[in-house]
Amino acid sequence: MKKWTKIVLLLLVVTLVLSAVAFGAKYKKNPPWVIGFSQIGSESEWRTADTISIKDALSEDPNMSLVYADAQQKQENQIKALRSFIARKVDVIVFTALVETGYGPVLQEAQKAKIPVIMVDRDVAKEDQQYRLTIMGSNFLEEGRKAANWLADYLKKQGIDDGKKPVNIAELQGTVGSAPAIDRKKGFEEIMKGHPNWKITHSQTGNFTRAEGKPVMEAFLKADKDIQVLFAHNDDMALGAIQAIKEAGLKPGKDIIVVSMDGVKGIFEAIIAGEANCTVECNPLLGPQAVQAIYDYMEGKKLPAKIDTIEGIFDQTTAKEAFPTRQY
Ligand code: GYE
């Protein structure tokens, strides 16, 4: 063999060995990785889209194997599922917290077992955030502000709000103690401070479902017909309430302004039909972002404490045009 051929061959071998070493060291742990995903349930159109997005992204990735647990809106089921993930030593936990409090001990157990927890959508309370790696999802506080700011603008344009006459608002709250219910309310009320004539005259939970949104709105209307605005913490409750408004002989979208959050297909249809007025988008398609976060973790990259999603707002002037491009 000629000398230069030997050198080329040697270089080739060195390159191959080096790249093999580099590849082997690419991840903290060699794939496939077992990912435990604890979802809260299936209360809304939003949740369905979110579950499909995360399950698809995780199960379509050849490096991941998914273990799925649906808590059916019960915190104790969720804590059990998290403990079973820890017991079977999954590589990563993906977790949406039904409510903010009560997960401290189980999150500490995960941390002790060195299992990273990547939160999706609903976060835990401040004091427990130190036990999870990151959270990805929406800024619920900002969503509440957006809804109130849209309302202020709309009332002004319609000549309904003179700054003095009371504007009576009925509120359908999400699941009590959940991050989106707490923060959407807070954000909305923050903007309300600049409108002293706005009043929340009724406020109750409808648990983020159509089935509960309807009877709660019925009860509001039975007690009092003088409601100008419905602020619902999600579209599903708004859709249930729209039904109740109609059955009470009133026109949703006209007699009562309907503002909600999520941006699901059902509310787009209602907005286009003139029966709802505005939805603040909350993007449930978090699967690809969750997968990215798992890779980042496995590659030893530092993850930001919070990964925000970018979202819009839709009303009767924009819903029709945007509808064909909606993915959920
Ligand atoms: O708005 C609602 C769902 O946590 C952001 O939960 C989510 C909320 C969403 O049930 O429809």
C-alpha to C-alpha distance for 33 and 10, rounded to whole angstroms: 35
Q: Which of the listed residues 262, 265, 283 should we mutate to test ligand 1's pocket, taking the one with most ligand atoms within 8 A of CB?
A: 262
Indicate whether residue 47 lines ligand 1 (CB < 6 A): yes
Largest CA distance in the chain: 98
Mean pLDDT computed over 136-142: 96
Q: Tell me how far the alpha carbon of residue 181 lies from the centroid of ligand 1, in angstroms.
A: 9
Antiparallel, parallel or unpaired: β 257-262 and 306-308: unpaired
Local confidence band at 24 (pLDDT 50, 70, 90 cut-offs): low
Highest mean pLDDT among 10-14, 19-23, 242-246: 242-246
Q: Tell me how far the alpha carbon of residue 328 lies from the centroid of ligand 1, in angstroms.
A: 13
Number of helices (H), then strands (E), belonging to the chain: the values are 11, 12
Amino acid 12: pLDDT: 61
- CATH no. for 25-137+284-309: 3.40.50.2300
Whether pLDDT at 191 is above 90: yes
With pLDDT > 70 as the criterion, what percentage of the chain qualifies? 93
Q: What ligand 1 atom has the least distance to the C-alpha of 138?
A: 5
Indicate whether residue 93 lines ligand 1 (CB < 6 A): no
- The reply to whether domains 25-137+284-309 and 140-282 share a CATH topology is yes
Local confidence band at 16 (pLDDT 50, 70, 90 cut-offs): low
Amino acid at 13: V
| Cα Rg of the chain (Å, integer) | 24
Amino acid 9: pLDDT: 65
C-alpha to C-alpha distance for 19 and 193, rounded to whole angstroms: 61
Whether pLDDT at 77 is above 60: yes
Residue with tokens 């604890």: 38
Q: How far lies 200's CA from each of 79, 81, 133, 246, in Å?
A: 35, 38, 37, 21
Q: What is the mean pLDDT of the chain?
A: 94
Amino acid 23: pLDDT: 52
Indicate whether residue 122 lines ligand 1 (CB < 6 A): yes
* 176 phi and psi angles, rounded to 5 deg: -60, 130
Residue-by-residue DSSP string for 106-122? HHHHHHHTT--EEEESS
C-alpha neighbours within 13 Å on the C-beta side of residue 147: 35
Which residues have CB under 8 Å from 166's CB, separation 6+? 197, 198, 199
Question: For the chain, which residues make up each domain, given as ranges?
Answer: 25-137+284-309, 140-282
Residue with tokens 């995360």: 54
Local confidence band at 113 (pLDDT 50, 70, 90 cut-offs): very high
Amino acid 218: pLDDT: 98
Q: Which of the listed residues 208, 236, 259, 260 should we mutate to test ligand 1's pocket, taking the one with most ligand atoms within 8 A of CB?
A: 208
Local confidence band at 11 (pLDDT 50, 70, 90 cut-offs): low
Amino acid 47: pLDDT: 98
Looking at the DSSP assignment, which residues form a beta bridge with residue 36?
67, 93
Residue with tokens 């060291």: 25
- Which residue, 139, 90, 150, 158, is CA-closest to 283? 139
Look at the domain 140-282 and name its fold.
Rossmann fold (3.40.50)
Amino acid 151: pLDDT: 98
Q: Tell me how far the alpha carbon of residue 48 lies from the centroid of ligand 1, in angstroms.
A: 10
